[in-house]
Structures are given as structure tokens and as C-alpha cells.
Amino acid sequence: MIDNWNLLLAFLADQPATSSEEPNQTAPLLILAGNGLPVLVDHAADLLRNKQIAHLFLVGGVGHATPVLRKNFADQGFLFAETLSESEMYRCYLKEKYHFSDAQLLVESHSTNSGENAQFALDKLQKMQLSPQKVLLMNDPILQRRTRATFEKVWGNTAVEFENYVPIVPQLERWHEEGSNAVMTFKQPELDNQWPLNYFKSLVLGEIARLHDDEHGYGPKGKGYLNHVEVPKEIWIAYQEILTQTNWQFCRT
């Protein structure tokens, strides 16, 4: 079953083919969408410190990932008020750990889903009269493929070129469930314990359902939230096999 999960994870991460060979991606702007993984904030900070980007745009209000992000930060010793949004937690963390200035960080703290992430980010940039020709996109890698498809849909009337920035593609190493006991570890140890098990299942399986372009999905044949995404046959088969083998209770809002 791990092989099927890893197939889905690699597909959803949508890592550019050149990124592992050419890690020095550059752009005027990187948009980090709200998610539950503090490790991604560190990767984004590296780009800013290395001057691979001029600005880091933190986008995200309060959503399904907010309690996960707050707990993961707390486990690292960074305690944030319950009232802070995902992007506000990012900003506090970046200023405390890396001493970035307000001028380097743009913040949008009201969006609650991917469509709003894209629309509110665009609105803010237009209000600031900023029009980058290229933007790096970064999110929980499980959400990355849908993030890009959504931004390309919402920003369709602009000339912006989007490129995914995916420093980590999650790959499971061990998965064992017995009753209420579960063990889930990754080949990347920094990802261990970052997703509660049922939340992880909901993210992965929910994304495949959303991307599948039929009347139930988010593509043109369904809700129309994003551009068409082709889900390869082997990915759909792996998804169906997982559904028959795993206990899954949808737990996302």
C-alpha cells in the first residue's frame, strides 16, 4: 500500500523536472500559501537569505491547516496566540528566527481556501502596483498541484509565469495501522509527525478527488475552481486501490 501512497504523493507535489538538478530557482516573488508545515517556511527563508527572491509573500488566514501549523510550531518551541492566522504565524516566526524586515515580507491574512489565496494575493499585488513577471509557488506538497492550477485559473488575465517550488516530495517509508495504533514515517525524517494520520489521509485522498475533472471535482467539468488537470490512469488506479484498503474518515473543512 505504501507504493500507492507514494505514487499519489509524487503526483500531487508536482515538482518541476529540473528542480532537483537546478535547485537555484529564482524569481522576484515567492508566494507561500498557508499550510501546516513549518519546515517549508525555513526553505522559503533560505531563498530570501540567498537573494533568489526579492520578496516573500505569505498568504493565508484561518483554515483547516491552522491548528496543525500552530501545534507543529509549538513542538519546535514557537508559541503563537490562538488568534493568529497562518500567514501571521509565518511572519512572526521569520522575524524572530531570521530577523527579516517588514519590507521583505508581504502578508495576506484573510483567505481561507486556495481560490481566495490566489484572488486575495492578486488583489494585494495590484493594489501595491506590483506586477512580477514570474512567481514561485509553494504550499504543502500534497496541495501543490492544485495550488498551481488554481492560481493559473484566477490569474488567467495576467502575464505572470508560475513555477512550483517544491523542496520536499514526501515519500512514506513505513505505514502500519492496528486498531487505534498507527505508525507513519517518511523517508524525509523532518516530515515525521507533521500531519495527524486522519488529516494526512484526508489531504491526499481529498486532493485526488478534487483534481479529477468530473462533475464532482474542482475542474472545468465540475465546480470550475481551477484549470483542467489530467489525472493519469495509474494515479487513479492507485487512488481506487487505497480507498478499498484503508479506513478513511473525511476530516477537512
Burial class (CB in 10 A: 0-12, 13-18, 19+), 147: buried
The ranges of the chain with pLDDT < 70 are 18-23, 179-180, 247-253
Q: Residue 215 CB: number of other CB atoms within 10 A?
A: 8
- What is the model's pLDDT at position 253? 45
The span from the CA of 224 to the CA of 113, in Å, is 14
In the numeric block, the cell 507513519 is attached to 184
Sorted by where each starts, the structural domains of the chain and their CATH numbers stand as 2-6+169-245 (1.10.3620.10), 15-164 (3.40.50.620)
* Nearest residue to 211 (alpha-carbon basis) of 12, 3, 47, 71: 12
The strand pair at 105-108 and 53-59 is best described as parallel
Helices (H) and strands (E) in the chain, counts: 8, 7
pTM reported for the whole predicted model: 0.95
According to the model, what pLDDT value does residue 251 have? 53
